[in-house]
Amino acid sequence: MKFHRPFRHPRTTKYISIHTGLCEACWNCLEVCPNQVLGKLEFGPHRHIRIHASENCKGCKKCVEACPHHAIEYVYKSKHQLEAQAI
């Protein structure tokens, strides 16, 4: 039997980072994401958003804007920005 480990999910995509401690499980972000990146984690008292398919994230920020609890942060930095910071 395959053991389900609910907390072993990535918390980032190339563009966003999820702060699960701030998530109130309203599912707003899940509803607005056009690319089915996000999913629900519902395991006993633990309810929060999770990354379902990080490779599908296009960085549109709809989830960031839809979250009333600031639980999703836009973290993408372009290659140019990263090079400038390294100088």
User: Where does this chain bind ligand SF4 (CB under 6 A)?
Assistant: 13, 15-16, 23-29, 32-33, 35, 37-38, 49, 57-63, 66-67, 69, 71-72
CB of 1 to ligand SF4, least distance (A): 30
Distance CA(29)–CA(81), nearest Å, equals 27
CB of 87 to ligand SF4, least distance (A): 28
Question: Taken in order 18, 20, 26, 30, is the CA torsion positive or negative?
Answer: positive
Between 14 and 84, CB nearer to ligand SF4: 14
Burial class of residue 17, CB neighbours in 10 A (0-12, 13-18, 19+): middle
